Amino acid sequence: MRGKPGSHENPGRRRKGRGALGNPANRFDPREVEPFDDGWGSLEQELPPLETIVTPETSRTIITRNDSPDIPFYQSINPYKGCEHGCVYCFARPTHAYLGLSPGLDFETRIFSKPAAAELLEKELSGKGYRCRVIALGANTDPYQPAERKLGISRRLLEVFAAFNHPVAIVTKSNLVLRDLDLLAPMAARRLACVMISVTTLDPELARGMEPRAPAPRKRIDAIRTLSDAGVPAGVLASPMIPALNDSELERILEAAASAGARWAGYVLLRLPHEVKRIFTEWLEASHPLKAARVLMLVRESHGGELYDSAFGSRMRGSGPYAQMLLRRFETACRRLGLQTGQPPLDASLFRVPDRLTGSGAGRVPGGQLPLLR
């Protein structure tokens, strides 16, 4: 059946600088496209590079709340939908289906920004019924992906957090977070900020294949060191651990991060919800054909015979012998390296609404004054 633009095309052929091999139809779309050889060698032609399109989005609120028992935060903010880093395993890819787009190449090339995020945050934090709890910045998609360099949405959010003395925990793969050390360091001194850097592998070639537009692993380790030296509590997230592909690196990742000053660590076993099963499997079979069968076998063994189990309590860590072994390795390494297995506590008691607000969403401080120096 013919499909609409955005359906799957040219499986097994990778576009330069992109993670997914194609644009599979999302789970809400009954139509699908399959490539057809017209006799003119069209399937052999080199695919042109894909441009990243960032579209501003109008939002009514910015804080998302959840009651999941296996997520260590209640509130989160995602300044962007979609992520140009293009991580082929990203569990957030299926969210693009709600936009009528593909979780494949669309997810990493059609990005939606929230330019009014800071103003919305200021409004929500000023509400009479607001209760201060740590907000996770970047729980779904990366708040420091390439678009942030120009748009600065995450930075403006940090300015609001600083003005309200509101605690924030950042998760990112990008050393672009160092741009905001002038905000993060003073906040960290008041126990209002911490940063967790995601490191999937120390192998630059494997990283380039799995995370084509994310900073190189050494840049992320260096970011941990710089954050730590500046007094910002830094942790490492060894995620995802992919059986028989990068899991042998778990201890080395933790050692490198601890040597750079990381205070705590976490890990997540590979998650393949909805369309990610197909996207990841396709990439794996094309990029690592000799390992693909074993990787998928171990993933199934860790999820009750399926490629994914969404049950709370097991979806992050899995179950069975392999998952138990991975957990023991993680805990043993953390004890040896002196790494905590939980995020350091942040202080919510300092929260206050400034006397006057500028309403600009940028650079506000108590009394509505703008900072003299940036």
pLDDT tens for 238-284 read 999 999 999 999 999 999 999 999 999 999 999 999 999 999 999 99
Burial 241-257 (b: 16+ CB within 10 A, else e): bbbbbbbebbbebbbbb
Residue predicted with more confidence, 280 or 310: 280
Sheet harboring 75-77: ordered strands across?
64-65, 75-77, 135-137, 168-172, 193-198, 234-241, 264-269
Residue predicted with more confidence, 66 or 101: 101
Whether residue 151 is predicted with pLDDT greater than 70 in this model: the reply is: yes
| DSSP label at residue 159 | H
In a domain, 237, yes or no: no
Whether residue 47 is predicted with pLDDT greater than 60 in this model: the reply is: yes
Mean pLDDT of 11-23: 78
- Number of CB atoms found within 10 A of residue 50's CB: 16
State the pLDDT confidence band at 3, using cuts at 50, 70 and 90.
very low
Whole-number percent of the chain with pLDDT over 70: 86
Strands (DSSP E) along the chain, which ranges? Answer: 53-56, 64-65, 75-77, 80-81, 110-113, 135-137, 168-172, 193-198, 234-241, 264-269
Which stretches of 213-353 are DSSP H helices?
217-229, 250-259, 276-287, 292-301, 321-337
pTM of the model: 0.87
In a domain, 63, yes or no: yes
Whether residue 357 is predicted with pLDDT greater than 70 in this model: the reply is: no
Whole-number percent of the chain with pLDDT over 90: 75
In which element (H, E) is residue 155 found?
helix 153-164
In a domain, 148, yes or no: yes
62: containing domain = 57-76+114-195
Residue 119's pLDDT is what? 97
How many domains is the chain built from?
A: 1
State the pLDDT confidence band at 72, using cuts at 50, 70 and 90.
confident
In a domain, 132, yes or no: yes
In a domain, 282, yes or no: no
In a domain, 226, yes or no: no
Mean pLDDT of 213-238: 98
Mean pLDDT of 353-362: 66
In a domain, 345, yes or no: no
Whether residue 73 is predicted with pLDDT greater than 70 in this model: the reply is: yes
Mean pLDDT of 105-134: 96
Q: What is the pLDDT of residues 172-200, one digit of tens each?
A: 999 999 999 999 999 999 999 999 999 99
Residue 23's pLDDT is what? 86
In a domain, 181, yes or no: yes
SS3 346: coil
